Amino acid sequence: MAGFIEPIGRLINQLSKLPGVGAKTAQRYAYKIIEMSDLEAEEFAQAILRVKREVKYCKVCGNFSETDTCPICQNRSSDIICVVKEPKDVVAIEKSGRFDGVYHVLHGTINPMEGIGPNDIAIKELLIRLNSDNVKEVLIATNPDVEGEATAMYIAKMVKPLGIKVTRLAHGIAVGTDLEYADIGSLTRAILDRREM
Amino acid sequence: MAGFIEPIGRLINQLSKLPGVGAKTAQRYAYKIIEMSDLEAEEFAQAILRVKREVKYCKVCGNFSETDTCPICQNRSSDIICVVKEPKDVVAIEKSGRFDGVYHVLHGTINPMEGIGPNDIAIKELLIRLNSDNVKEVLIATNPDVEGEATAMYIAKMVKPLGIKVTRLAHGIAVGTDLEYADIGSLTRAILDRREM
């Protein structure tokens, strides 16, 4: 980084790797870190090192875990598996407090444009679970975008023949959004997926 | 952080300490770090530790430096000292490439509301330099806000009696800004500070 002494330039470069962080923001973050006490900076650096050292993937569901099997898989017995794209989606659904089943993290969605096919994400692992566990329902919670829909359709096609119910998270107008402010995508989906009262 | 396993929650907490970073952004940054290779994460953490270990303040001007005296103080001999609030202001002026004097970093500005008086910033150190070095001009480059102006006035009052010329960075309409888009503060300043042609 021009104009900065080497250790500051290096830190700015590292901070620029964070998503959506440009040179100016990285610079602002770097100054904040320089102003931290030695102890604070040490804790910050250790948090980065420890997350790499301690975060693994659950052997059963693929979610982030400190142990071989994640706490959800260890503690819950359920016949519903919720299929999500990424570990952060598990956090989002858990926050709702309205789902007490288990999860399966795909670690991606089918995306032919980027060369990601069904074998590149954890669909095989899902099918193995369905064959061995006593699962009655697969709730697909991939995003309502092209890749998420394609992935949901593919999984439904594979799972239905096993005699397992396949459901999809409802998409539509966000609760709390006035009709006039709803985006076209959500409104279109709300009309297509209208339900009988 | 609710819903996150401990090492991830801890990292999100640390990232939330960066300026302007809320929970959602910290979460996004944390996921990025989790996805980094071990080597990348190690380099990131090391950049934080090294910036704390290697960045000191120049004994002469107070700028960031890896050595006791910063490269600017080591390599430049000048009779103009540019007075700035913070080390980052040195970087900004250096980028212009139009100043080849030396600097003096105040590490703050006078701010009675926050209890920061003239003795809490490096004004005493500036006066000592002026008494010993052969300085002909002090160019004050504090920001054109209330604190920056008060600090500039105070320094001018202390320095003028020493027979040293005191100048202030020009403020006005930013170059490239059309008159109609100039903010009121800049426009007011441009009128007050109008110069004869």
User: The domain spanning residue B128 has which CATH number?
Assistant: 3.40.1360.10
Q: Which domain holds residue A146?
A: 61-196
Is A95's CB within 8 Å of B40's CB? no
Query: Are residues A82 and A47 part of one domain?
Result: no
> Which residues from chain B sit within 8 angstroms of residue A9, using beta carbons?
none
Is B66's CB within 8 Å of A5's CB? yes
Rounded distance between C-alpha atoms, residue B197 and residue B63, angstroms: 37
Out of A5, A42, A52, whose CB is closest to B65? A5
Grouping H, G, I as helix, E, B as strand and the rest as coil, residue A152 is helix
Query: Are residues B111 and B31 part of one domain?
Result: no
Is A3's CB within 8 Å of B64's CB? no
Q: B129, exposed or middle or buried, with CB in 10 Å at 0-12, 13-18, 19+?
A: middle
Q: What does the DSSP 8-state code read for residue B111? A: B
Candidates A18, A37, A67: best to mutate against B (most CBs of B within 10 A) is A18
> Which residues from chain A sit within 8 angstroms of residue B13, using beta carbons?
47
Interface predicted TM-score (ipTM) over 0.90: no
User: A194 is written with which tokens?
Assistant: 């209208």
Query: Are residues A158 and A68 part of one domain?
Result: yes
Residue B1 belongs to a domain: no
Is A48's CB within 8 Å of B43's CB? no
In B9-68, the residues whose Cβ lies within 8 Å of chain A are 10-11, 13-14, 17-20, 25, 27-34, 36, 38, 40-55, 64-66
Rounded distance between C-alpha atoms, residue B88 and residue A31, angstroms: 8
Residue A85 belongs to a domain: yes
Judge whether A34 and A44 are in contact, CB under 8 Å. Answer: no
In tens, the pLDDT along A95-127 reads 888 888 999 999 999 999 999 999 999 999 999
For the packed helices A146-159 and A123-132, what is the interaxial angle rounded to 10 degrees? 30
Rounded distance between C-alpha atoms, residue A27 and residue B20, angstroms: 13
Rounded distance between C-alpha atoms, residue B33 and residue B193, angstroms: 49
Is A41's CB within 8 Å of B51's CB? yes
Q: Which has the closest alpha carbon to B169: B196, B149, B139, B126?
A: B139
Query: Are residues A124 and A172 part of one domain?
Result: yes
Rounded distance between C-alpha atoms, residue A100 and residue A81, angstroms: 10
Cα angle A57-A59-A60, degrees, rounded to a multiple of 5: 115
Which pairing describes strands A137-140 and A102-105: parallel, antiparallel, or unpaired?
A: unpaired
Tens digits of pLDDT across chain B (197 residues): 567 889 999 999 999 999 999 999 999 999 999 999 999 999 999 999 999 999 999 999 999 999 999 999 999 989 999 999 999 899 888 888 888 899 999 999 999 999 999 999 999 999 999 988 789 999 999 988 899 999 999 999 999 999 999 998 888 888 888 877 878 888 887 788 777 77
CB atoms within 10 A of CB A188: 13
